[in-house]
Structure 1
Amino acid sequence: MIDEAGTRDTAAAMAGAARVWLDTLDPGQRETATGHAPSGDAGTDAERRRWFYTPTDHGGLSFHEQLPPQQRAAMQLLAAGLSRPAYVTLCTVMGLENVLDATEGFTALFDRTRGRDPQAYHLRIFGEPGATGTWAWRFGGHHVSVNVLVVDGAVVATTPFFLGADPATSQLLGESLLRPLGPVEDLARDLVRSLPAELRARAVLLDAAPPDLVGANRTDPAEGDNWIPLRGIWRAPFAAADRWAELVEASDAIEDRTGIAERDKPAVALSRTPAGVPASDLDAAQREQLRALLATYLRRVPDALSPITRYDDDAALDRVHLAWAGSLRPGEPHYYRLQGPRLLLEWDNTQRDANHAHSVWRDPSADFGLDVLGAHRAARHLS
C-alpha cells in the first residue's frame, strides 16, 4: 500500500529541490525550463504527456544549457524522486553515452553536433512546485524518461518510467561485466525457462522478438497497439535531409532483422486481456521470483511511492501475466511483458545483436496522473 504520509514527505523534498533549481535560472533559461501546470485538458497538457527514449529533444532545459551548480541542483531533484538504486542506475545509463559513442566510432550525429551525448538530458518543471495545486517534473534523454505528478502536496503518479542501456553489457577491468539492467533481464528469462513445457508454450507468444517496446512511447497504449519503427520515436525529422535518411535506413534495417511477418504481429500486440501465463499458475518458488522481477521496476521510486507491497497479496499477484517472445538463450533477441490491473511492464533486448536494452514501467489507467487530474479538475469545477 502506498504510504500517504511518505508521499507527502517525498513531494515536499521534490518541491524544495525544484524551487532551488528554478531559482538558479536566468529568465531565458526559466522560459525553456518550465511549462503549463498539469491539467485534465489534453490541449494545454499535451507537452507534459509527450515522452521519448530516443536521443531526441525531450523538451526542457538541457545540461548543455546549465552551469555546473545548476546541473547539480537538477540531479538533486532526481535523487529526491528516485530510490537510491534507481538513481545510481540512471546515472550509469547517462554515462554509457560515452561508451556507446566509442562503440560507434565517435560518428553518430543525428540532428546535433554530437549524437551520443551525456549532456543531452533535459529537465522541465510544469506549474509551480508547492504544497497546493498541481505541478509536475519530467527528466529525459537517451534511455531515460522520468515523469512525476504532484497534486495538493502528494505524489500521485510516477509513470511512465523508462530506463534503457546501450550497451546492455560492457566489459570492466578484472574480467567483470557492467550490466545496469542485468537482473531485469535475467529474472524474467530464468522464470520462463523454469516453467513446465505446457506453461512455457503458453508464455512464449512468438519465436521471434519485436524490435522494440510494443507500447512504444504512446501517451495512452490501447488494444491492438504494436511497436513503432525507430524513425517514429523522435520529436521531429531532422533539418538535414541526409541525416534523416540515414536514420530511416537504420530504422528499416532494424525492422527487417526481426524476421516477423506481418501476419505474426498480432501475436505480440497489446491487448486489454493480458497475454501469457498468470501468476496463479506458478508454483511458490516461481511466484517469489516474479515478485523479485516486479521489484526491479516498482522499486525505481522511494519505498513510500512504490506499489510493490500490493503484490504481497496473493490475489493481486495472481492477476499478473507473464508473456515472452523470442529466444530463451542469453545473448539472443528477446522481449517480455508483465501485465495486470494498473500494470504494464515491458522489456526488449533485440537491437545491436541483443546488447541494447529497454525497460518501462507503466500504469495504463493512470500514467501521467490523468485519472487523478480528471477528478481534481471536476472537483474544482464543481466548487
Structure 2
Amino acid sequence: MGDAGREVATRMAEAAQRWLDSLDADQRGVAVGPPPGADADAERTRWFYTPTDHGGLTFHQQRPAQHRMVMQLVASGLSEAGYTTVATVLGLENVLDRVEDFSVNWGRERTRDPGLYYLRIFGEAGGRQPWGWRFGGHHVSINNLVVDGRVVATTPCFLGADPAASPLLGGATLRPLGTAEDLARELVRSLHPELATRAVLLPRAPNDVVAGNSSTIDDRVLKRGELWRPGPHRPDRAEEPATGLDGANRRALALTPPPKGVPGAELDAAQRELLRALLGTYLGRVPDGVSPLRRYDDSAALEAVHLAWAGSTRAGEPHYYRLQGPRLLIEWTNVQRGANHAHAVWRDPEADFGGDVLAAHHAAHHAR
C-alpha cells in the first residue's frame, strides 16, 4: 500500500480530527474507543451488519454539520463508486420502510432508520500509535486500521441492499449491488457441465453468508442471535444457525482451508476476465492506493481464486456464491424477501482488522 496508503491515511486522519474537534465532551465519550491493541480489541473487532447497535455515535446524536463531517471521513476510505454505493444503501432504509408499509415496530421511535448509523474512532486519529475507525449500521460495515501512518486494513467490508432491486421512474431499476450479482451468475452459467457440477455445492442457498459477522473466519456455526448486539431487538429463533443450514447441507458449504469450488486456473480466458471483473466489484470499494485488486493482474493470483455457488443459477431465484483464495474471502447471498435482499462482504482471512500488522508493530515496539 506504500505511499498511496499513506496519502489515504492522511486524508482519513484529517477528516477524523475535524469531526472529533466538533464534538462536545459527552459526544466524545461515546465516539472514541480504546486504541487498537491485543488487550483492547474486543469491541473494535466486534462488528455487525444488522440494524442493531454497532457502537459509536449515531447521526441522531449529532448536528447536521457533524453529519457532513462523518460522511467526509467515510468518503476518505472509499472510492467514488464505493462512496456512492454506501450513500445509496443508507437511503434504502427509507425505501425499505415503504416496502414494509411503514409498519414494522421494534419498540424504538423509528425501526427502519437512516439516522441509526454509527461512527467510532479507536485511538488517536493521526497519532504516532495505531488507530482505526469503524462506520456501520444496517447493511454497512466499514473497518479501517492505520499503523505507522499508512492504511493497513480495510476489512471486513460489508454492503447489503434491501430491497436489492427497486423501481425508478422511466422503467429503470435501482440495483446498488447488481453488477456483483450479474457477473457471478454469468460466470457460473458459462461453465461447462463438469466444472458447473463442481462449482455448485448445494442446490439450496443459505439464508445468510456463511462466516456471518465472526471476528475471525473459521468453521464455527454462527447463530442468528449473534448477528445482533444483545438487547431488546434480537430476532426470533436466535439460537438457530444464521444460515438456516445444518447437517450435510452445512458441511457442503463449510469454509475449509483448501477452498471448495472451481479454481481460476481451470477457467478459460474469457471466464478469467469475468472473474477479475467480479473481484473488482468488491475490491474496488476502496481507493486504488489501498485496494489489493492489482494483485490479480498476476495470473497466478487470479488462478488461485475459487468460485463456489449454492442455489439456483436463474435470475430472480435464491442463490449464494463465494470467491475464496489466499487472503481472500468474498461472500454473496440473495435469498430473503423473495430473492430481493442482498448481502455482499469482502474479508481477508489472515488480516481482518489488521491483526497481523498490529501484532508485528507491537512486537517491534516492545523489542526496542
TM-score normalised according to structure 2 size: 0.97
Match of 2:124 in 1: 128
Match of 1:139 in 2: 135
CA distance in structure 1 between the aligned counterparts of 2:107 and 2:41, rounded to whole angstroms: 26
| SS of residue in 2 equivalent to 1:140 | strand
Q: What does 1:119-268 align with in structure 2 at a 5 Å threshold?
A: 119-130=115-126, 132-222=128-218, 224-226=219-221, 228-238=222-232, 247-248=235-236, 262-268=247-253
Match of 1:20 in 2: 18
Q: Identify which of 355, 358, 365 aligns with 2:340.
A: 355
Q: What does 1:274-353 align with in structure 2 at a 5 Å threshold?
A: 274-353=259-338
Match of 1:29 in 2: 27
Alpha-carbon displacement from aligned partner over 1:62-81 (angstroms, at most 9, x marks no partner)? 00000000010010001111
The one-letter amino acid of 1:205's match is L
> How much has 1:269 moved relative to structure 2?
0.9
Q: 1:343–1:364: 8 Å Cα contact kept in structure 2?
A: yes
The one-letter amino acid of 2:113's match is D
The one-letter amino acid of 2:315's match is P
Q: Identify which of 70, 79, 84 aligns with 2:80.
A: 84
Match of 2:367 in 1: 382
> How much has 1:229 moved relative to structure 2?
4.1
1:64 paired with 2:60, answer yes
Q: 1:365–1:371: 8 Å Cα contact kept in structure 2?
A: yes
The one-letter amino acid of 2:140's match is V
> How much has 1:114 moved relative to structure 2?
1.3
CA distance in structure 2 between the aligned counterparts of 1:252 and 1:367, rounded to whole angstroms: 26
CA distance in structure 1 between the aligned counterparts of 2:239 and 2:61, rounded to whole angstroms: 30
CA distance in structure 2 between the aligned counterparts of 1:254 and 1:106, rounded to whole angstroms: 26
Aligned residues: 368
The one-letter amino acid of 2:236's match is V
The one-letter amino acid of 1:30's match is R
> How much has 1:45 moved relative to structure 2?
1.2
| SS of residue in 1 equivalent to 2:197 | helix
> How much has 1:59 moved relative to structure 2?
0.3
Match of 1:110 in 2: 106
The change in CA–CA distance for 1:231 and 1:64 in structure 2 (over 3 A counts) is same
| SS of residue in 2 equivalent to 1:78 | helix
The change in CA–CA distance for 1:252 and 1:221 in structure 2 (over 3 A counts) is closer
Root-mean-square deviation (CA), in Å?
1.6
| SS of residue in 2 equivalent to 1:370 | helix
> How much has 1:113 moved relative to structure 2?
2.0
Consecutive aligned runs of 4 or more in structure 1 exceeding 4 Å deviation: 249-255
Q: 1:214–1:225: 8 Å Cα contact kept in structure 2?
A: no
| SS of residue in 1 equivalent to 2:69 | helix
The change in CA–CA distance for 1:230 and 1:102 in structure 2 (over 3 A counts) is farther
The one-letter amino acid of 1:96's match is L
What stretches of structure 1 of length at least 5 have no aligned partner? Answer: none
Q: 2:17–2:125: 8 Å Cα contact kept in structure 1?
A: yes
Alpha-carbon displacement from aligned partner over 1:231-284 (angstroms, at most 9, x marks no partner)? 33100131xxxx65xx305996997xx6x5632210001111100000000000
| SS of residue in 2 equivalent to 1:132 | coil
TM-score normalised according to structure 1 size: 0.93
Q: 1:37–1:128: 8 Å Cα contact kept in structure 2?
A: yes
The change in CA–CA distance for 1:121 and 1:187 in structure 2 (over 3 A counts) is same
CA distance in structure 2 between the aligned counterparts of 1:109 and 1:290, rounded to whole angstroms: 41
Alpha-carbon displacement from aligned partner over 1:287-329 (angstroms, at most 9, x marks no partner)? 0000000000001100000110100000111110000000001
The change in CA–CA distance for 1:354 and 1:252 in structure 2 (over 3 A counts) is farther
The one-letter amino acid of 1:173's match is L
